[in-house]
Structure 1
Amino acid sequence: MAVYSMTGYASAQRNAGAEPAAADSGPSVGVEIRSVNSRFLDLSFKLPDDLRASEPALRERFTQKLKRGKVELRAWIEASSDQVPRAPGSAELQRLLAAQDAVRTWLPQAQPLSVAEVLGLVERRSAPSADLHERITELLDTALEQLLDARAREGARLASMLLDRVGQLRTLTDTAQPLIPELVAQQRQRFLDRWQEALGADASGTVAGSEAARDRALTEATAFAIRIDVAEELTRLRSHLDEIERLLQRGGEVGKRLDFLIQELHREANTLGSKSSSLDLTRVSVDMKVLIEQMREQVQNLE
């Protein structure tokens, strides 16, 4: 299953005439979809008045295909350049005249209808609303497929980048692993040196001083061993990386789960840095946090 980004764009346009032969004579209908990242599915519609009745059906199609993202749909109707307005019949003109007279009876300052306004009213009244609804839903289905393809391509690119960062984090984790025994060995040597000092003090007769030195050396060695023990952090880092890799390979709606895992990675990298007692381990921690931050920014775009 593919991994989908929430970023994408698609558009489609078609003549609103019912027959292909009318492709150059009727008004054209078009749709445009823009999508960016969002925590939830946030739909925004910009439709002409003639298409307002189609909004519930269009919204349902979006909810069937998309789960997350801030999505804007814009639709329009345009008359073809060579389309001649239909001449109204006498009955239609009489109805318009009666309506105008009724309005001007109460609003004498109202301006009379112009020829363009009359033709516009007639055109809207005669618009094939059922045909427009059918066309707009067909166009939306086409545009949605294009949008899903675009989001899938972007998702594949993001997944590849994330997997690359996972590989780099694994390398850093492997680099940090042997640093801990080296630090413990160094501290053990310091402990032995202090122990020898304590034995020397004991041999010179200062028993109280030797016991204090032994206790201090033992306390420092124990505290140091506890403080630098990052075995659990490294184990959890590897576990989180395994889960991220599994989710990316499985695909589907993984954005929220990946976001949580990225937070956990950041927490473990911070702990690794706080327990660091060497420059090498500090550098590993910093490099990890840089990679994790790059992953966090990209995960925000995944559905």
Structure 2
Amino acid sequence: MVVSMTGFGRSKLDSGLHTITVEMKSVNHRFHECTIRLPRQLMKVEEKIKKQVSEFIKRGKVDVFITIAGEGLVHRNLHIDWKLIRDYYQLVHDVKDRFSLKGEVELNHLLSREEFITIEEMEEENEELERLVLDAVILAAKELKEMRVKEGEALKEDFLTHLNHFEQKVSELSSFAPHVVNEYREKLKKKMMEYSEGAIDDTRLLNEVAIMADKSDITEELTRLKSHLHYYHSTLNLSEPVGRKLDFLIQEMNREVNTIGSKANDSNITALVVELKSTLEKLREQVQNVE
């Protein structure tokens, strides 16, 4: 199944006490990578979130953004360091007495010192909130997957268009291939007649033509190309992620086309090889976006 690696999904759930918003976006990547940004008090469910995302997304870089609005996420305690306040108060009075200074220690002098009063945040255990977050993640992941599948359908149509063009050129190659040896035989025969004043050594001519036929024969390459094309079509219809397989097949087809180009000493075949390589490059660019 052709599934794009780019997409976006969003969900929002409200429990009355909390409102959970989850946004996901994915882009191309060689492997599966998931980055999550969420409130600190929910860090313990990060691995569960990644596991849920991986059930929908098999390949691509996924960024997950989770925001929570509501009360009761953390419990705050006010901590006062009475001993430090007493020591500070006593120090001020000692300095005043020692140096005969005037002035009083006022309340704002003590409350303005951050080291005297601190606010401690304690994370609240809230299984209902965690369940709500995981539910929102699933909804966003489903929407993301739906968008990737829809874009994948468009990619598949583009693949089929390029493949149809590629197959036409391979068919043309197959029709040209037998004529290469025949043309070489006639050219060689003509040259031998010119240099030998009409006397032709048939044995030598046959040997030369046989050597040329062996060097320029592209039958095996064409057979493998057709086999790769058949497998490419069947791969497009698989239910599993196909990006890696398609990329490998394009590399193999490109190898066969390069071999044909190096073997064939014919202008028509050379022109067809250029078109085939151009089409393969378009397929290669598109397959980089397939899961």
Same structural fold, with TM-score higher than 0.5 when normalized by the shorter chain: yes
Query: Of Structure 1 and Structure 2, which has the larger fraction of its residues in strand?
Result: 2
Correspondence 1:13 to 2:47: no
Distance 1:103 1:197, change over 3 A: farther
- Judge conservation of contact 2:12–2:22 (CA < 8 Å) in 1: yes
- Identity level (%): 29
Correspondence 1:289 to 2:289: no
Structure 2 counterpart of 1:33, one-letter code? M
Identify which of 205, 213, 224 aligns with 1:236.
Answer: 224
Correspondence 1:3 to 2:10: no
CA distance in 1, matches of 2:86, 2:259: 78
Identify which of 130, 145, 150 aligns with 1:153.
Answer: 150
In the TM superposition, what are the counterparts of 1:243-262 in structure 2 within 5 Å? 243-262=231-250
Identify which of 21, 25, 28 aligns with 1:34.
Answer: 25
Q: Which residue of 1 aligns with 2:114?
A: 110
CA positional deviation for 1:129: 2.7
Distance 1:106 1:49, change over 3 A: farther
Structure 2 counterpart of 1:136, one-letter code? V
CA distance in 1, matches of 2:29, 2:213: 45
Structure 2 counterpart of 1:293, one-letter code? E
Aligned length, in residue pairs = 265
CA distance in 2, matches of 1:76, 1:107: 43
Identify which of 59, 62, 69 aligns with 1:78.
Answer: 69
CA deviation digits over 1:143-185, x for unaligned, max 9?
Answer: 1111111111111111111121111111000111121222222
Identify which of 49, 52, 74 aligns with 1:58.
Answer: 49
CA distance in 2, matches of 1:252, 1:225: 43
CA distance in 1, matches of 2:82, 2:218: 86
- Judge conservation of contact 1:3–1:156 (CA < 8 Å) in 2: yes
Structure 2 unmatched ranges of 5 or more: 89-112
- Judge conservation of contact 1:51–1:132 (CA < 8 Å) in 2: no
CA distance in 2, matches of 1:105, 1:57: 45
CA distance in 1, matches of 2:233, 2:4: 17
CA distance in 2, matches of 1:133, 1:295: 43
Distance 1:161 1:107, change over 3 A: farther
CA distance in 1, matches of 2:114, 2:153: 60
Distance 1:189 1:252, change over 3 A: same
Distance 1:143 1:159, change over 3 A: same
CA distance in 1, matches of 2:87, 2:274: 75
TM-score by length of 1: 0.77
TM-score by length of 2: 0.80
Structure 2 counterpart of 1:141, one-letter code? I
Cα RMSD of the aligned pairs, angstroms, is 3.0
Deviates more, 1:264-273 or 1:183-192: 183-192
Structure 1 unmatched ranges of 5 or more: 80-84, 87-91, 203-209
Q: Which residue of 2 aligns with 1:45?
A: 36
CA distance in 2, matches of 1:67, 1:165: 26
CA distance in 2, matches of 1:194, 1:56: 76
In the TM superposition, what are the counterparts of 1:148-227 in structure 2 within 5 Å? 148-194=145-191, 196=193, 200=197, 215=204, 217-227=205-215
Q: Which residue of 2 aligns with 1:205?
A: none
